[in-house]
């Protein structure tokens, strides 16, 4: 017997005992594309495998604002009768003694279960279910594990369609209906914002989605191929059209295809589910592959992939139990530390979560950034989303400054450089955004912010063209690049 603590509230816990039952193994599908055809990539390396309490084989994963992980299994394979399946919270998954909590439990018939999981900046959980019919649903749970009464009807939305995959960007909750019909909901109320109908012919069986916040792109994965919706806006989906980015890796669709957008590497990470590899696709669709070696044969069929808040670590649930029936979550790291130039210096990025800076907000929604630098003469914007819209409208670049109040290098910049006349002059020619990362850690991760102070310059199309970070930012270089961009 294995103990799973039930997440009731920060103050109290209950205990549920679960019996151990071995799960049936799936039959592997053949790959259409070989390792040699892709060309090897050593970008990601295997670190360890975290054992999940049996019999809950993890299929879907998401990360929390504090750097923990949430996983859910896909279906009830144990009984012909409806069975309650949990969404499991893993606290400190990188330590030798992680803790496991039940966020929520939902009942499913045989061969049905969860189809998506996401976590917002406030630590609220969104889970979806593909029941195979019109009773499929999306549910929102507060950090204490209770349904959010403000979302839909007592925490639930029923689209009347099969629901596949979830991702969240601010207050936009994205999903797809089976198959390849893009939909967007208000994450606060559950109200449908809009949808994009699938192509009339050859609609791909998209199982999971991921968002690129800066460019307002939505990615999908189907048959091991990367797809993208382009041309629309989060607030108005009418312009989006679905395009193929890469060729199929699988002959037929399989449960266990996950996708995640790595904002720092500007690439799409894909776990295909039928091969021991982590794939990456750039924005043009060029594929690379990191073969997963090590682990003593534990890695069999990675089914999802999510990037931790350090920008270097990914979690990948395995849809096949290990040799002794273990239910596993694999950990991989970038082969090289996440580094980018900070002026003339190189900055290796530590985890904001490890520094205790990514605590979830006390309310159910991200809080606005505090009042920007007073007396600077700069018209700082506090919303990256609004600045993005303004940038497209007036065709001006965005200058993003990300900080925390406790970081001394940020304090120094705000007391000197960011209050200077020279900076105020160039800031008037761009759209300056002041962003305290602790107010919206999900957005910080989606923007690839893993160290503060952080400064970046974005073109109106959302492409990041300059990046500075760390205590050794070359402010002369910042002024020069801003002046050039504003011409």
Q: Which two tokens stand for residue 365?
A: 């929604």
153 shares a domain with 166: yes
Residue 180 scores a pLDDT above 80: yes
Tell whether 26 is covered by a domain.
no
Domain identity same for 325 and 427: no
Is 281 among the domain residues?
yes
> In this predicted model, what pLDDT tens digit does every residue of 387-423 receive, in sequence order?
999 999 999 999 999 998 888 899 999 999 999 999 9
Q: What is the mean pLDDT of residues 70-97?
A: 84
Q: Is 199 a residue whose pLDDT tops 90?
A: no
User: Is 28 among the domain residues?
Assistant: no
pLDDT of residue 52: 92
Give the least confident one: 50-54, 77-81, 111-115, 210-214: 77-81
pLDDT tens across 436-472, in order?
998 888 899 899 888 889 999 999 999 999 999 888 8
**265-270 mean pLDDT:** 91
- The reply to whether 435 falls in a domain is yes
CA distance 36 to 182: 34
CATH number at residue 125: 2.120.10.30
Question: 443 and 318, same structural domain?
Answer: no
Question: 229 pLDDT exceeds 60?
Answer: yes
pLDDT in tens, 233-245: 999 999 999 999 9
Higher pLDDT, 30 or 175: 175
Banded pLDDT at 254 (limits 50, 70, 90):
low
The reported pLDDT for the residue numbered 76 is 62
Instruction: Indicate whether 255 and 122 sit together in one domain.
Output: yes
Torsions phi, psi of 6, nearest 5? -90, 125
Whether 214 has a pLDDT exceeding 80, the answer reads: yes
Residue reference for tokens 């190189």 = 346
| 29: in domain | no
Q: Looking at the predicted structure, is the pLDDT value of residue 341 above 60? A: no
Q: Are residues 378 and 327 in the same domain?
A: no
The per-residue pLDDT for 307 is: 92
* One domain, residues 234 and 346: no
Residue 478 confidence (pLDDT) above 90? yes
pLDDT recorded at residue 457: 95
Identify the domain containing residue 463 by its residue range.
339-485
Say if residue 300 is in the same domain as residue 346: no
Residue 342 has pLDDT above 70, yes or no: no
| Strand 60-63 with 69-72, pairing | antiparallel
Within-domain flag for 27: no
Q: List the structure tokens of 299.
A: 């890695």
Q: Is residue 25 part of a domain?
A: no
Stretch 349-360: mean pLDDT, rounded? 45
Q: Which of 277, 306, 334 is the last residue of a domain?
A: 334
Which residue in the block uniquely carries the two structure tokens 């970070």?
A: 469
pLDDT at 41: 47
Per-residue pLDDT tens over the stretch 46-62: 999 999 988 888 999 99
Q: Assign 403 to helix, strand or coil.
A: strand
Q: Where are the beta strands (DSSP E) in 53-112?
A: 60-63, 69-72, 83-91, 99-108
Is 21 or 381 the better-scoring residue by pLDDT? 381
The residue out of 299, 334, 369 marking a domain boundary is 334
In the prediction, which pLDDT does 150 show?
A: 96
Bridge partners, 225 (sequence order): 222
14-23, 157-166, 199-208: least confidently modelled range: 14-23
Burial class (CB in 10 A: 0-12, 13-18, 19+), 391: buried
What is the pLDDT averaged over residues 104-129?
90
Examine the domain organization and report whether 163 and 241 are in the same domain.
yes
Report the CATH number that the domain containing residue 410 is assigned in CATH: 3.40.30.10
Average pLDDT value over all residues in the chain: 82
Domain contains 30: no
Tell me the backbone φ, ψ of residue 424, rounded to 5 degrees.
-60, -35
Residue 55 and residue 57: Cα distance in Å, rounded?
Answer: 6
Q: Considering the chain, what percentage of its residues have pLDDT values greater than 90?
A: 52
Q: What percentage of the chain reaches a pLDDT higher than 70?
A: 82
Residues 418 and 273 in one domain: no
Q: Any bridge partners for residue 15, and if so which? A: 5
- Is residue 349 domain-shared with residue 398, that is, in the same domain? yes
Q: How many domains does the chain have?
A: 2
pLDDT confidence bin for 367, thresholds 50/70/90: low
| 215, 74: one domain | yes
| pLDDT score, position 24 | 26
Asked if pLDDT for residue 99 goes beyond 60, the answer is: yes
Residues contacting residue 235 through CB under 8 Å, at least 6 positions apart: 172, 193, 389
Separation in Å, CA 114 to CA 80, 284, 312, 314: 17, 31, 27, 21
Q: Which of 302, 334, 366 is the last residue of a domain?
A: 334
Given a cut of 90, whether residue 435 has pLDDT beyond it is yes
The residues, ordered by sequence, that sit 6+ positions from 474 with a Cβ below 8 Å of its Cβ are 342, 343, 344, 345, 468
- State the pLDDT at residue 349: 39
Residue 479 has pLDDT above 80, yes or no: yes
**Same-domain status, 310 and 382:** no
Mean pLDDT score, 299-321:
90
């Amino acid at each position: 017997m294995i103990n799973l603590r039930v997440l009731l509230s920060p103050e109290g816990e209950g205990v549920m005992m679960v019996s151990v039952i071995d799960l049936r193994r799936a039959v592997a599908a053949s790959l259409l594309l070989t390792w040699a055809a892709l060309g090897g990539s050593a970008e990601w390396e295997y670190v360890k495998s975290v054992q999940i309490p049996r019999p809950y084989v993890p299929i879907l994963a998401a990360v929390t604002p504090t750097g923990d992980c949430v996983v859910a299994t896909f279906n009830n394979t144990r009984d012909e009768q409806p069975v309650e399946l949990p969404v499991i919270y893993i606290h400190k998954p990188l330590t030798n003694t992680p803790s496991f909590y039940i966020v929520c439990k939902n009942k499913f018939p045989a061969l049905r279960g969860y189809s998506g999981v996401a976590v917002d900046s406030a630590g609220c959980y969104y889970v979806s279910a593909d029941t195979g019919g019109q009773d499929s649903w999306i549910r929102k749970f507060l950090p204490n594990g209770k349904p959010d009464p403000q979302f839909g009807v007592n925490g639930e939305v029923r689209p009347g369609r099969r629901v596949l995959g979830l991702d969240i960007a601010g207050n936009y909750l994205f999903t797809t209906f089976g198959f390849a019909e893009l939909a967007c909901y208000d994450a606060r109320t559950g109200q449908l914002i809009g949808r994009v109908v699938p192509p009339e012919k050859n609609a791909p069986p998209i199982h999971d989605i991921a968002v690129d916040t800066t460019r307002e792109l939505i990615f999908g994965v189907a048959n091991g191929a990367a797809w993208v919706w382009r041309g629309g806006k989060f607030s108005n989906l009418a312009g989006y059209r679905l395009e193929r980015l890469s060729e199929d890796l699988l002959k037929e669709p399989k449960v266990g295809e996950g996708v995640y957008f790595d904002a720092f590497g500007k690439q799409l990470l894909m776990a295909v589910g039928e091969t021991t590899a982590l794939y990456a696709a750039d924005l043009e669709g060029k594929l690379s592959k990191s073969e997963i070696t090590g682990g003593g044969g534990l890695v069999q069929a990675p089914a999802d992939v999510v990037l931790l808040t350090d920008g270097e670590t990914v979690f990948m649930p395995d849809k096949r139990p290990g040799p002794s029936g273990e239910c596993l979550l694999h950990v991989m790291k970038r082969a090289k530390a996440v580094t980018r130039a900070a002026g003339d210096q190189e900055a290796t990025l530590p985890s904001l979560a490890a520094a205790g800076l990514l605590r979830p907000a006390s309310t159910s929604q991200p809080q606005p950034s505090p009042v920007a630098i007073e007396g600077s003469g700069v018209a700082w914007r506090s919303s990256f989303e609004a600045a993005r819209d303004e940038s497209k409208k007036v065709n001006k670049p965005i200058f993003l400054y990300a900080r925390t109040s406790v970081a001394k290098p940020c304090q120094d910049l705000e007391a000197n450089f960011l209050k200077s006349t020279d900076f105020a002059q160039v800031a008037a020619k761009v759209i300056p955004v002041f962003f305290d990362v602790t107010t919206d850690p999900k957005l910080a991760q989606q923007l690839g912010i893993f160290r503060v102070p952080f400064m970046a310059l974005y073109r109106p199309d959302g492409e990041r063209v300059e990046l500075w970070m760390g205590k050794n930012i070359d402010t002369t270089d910042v002024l020069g690049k801003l002046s050039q961009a504003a011409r």
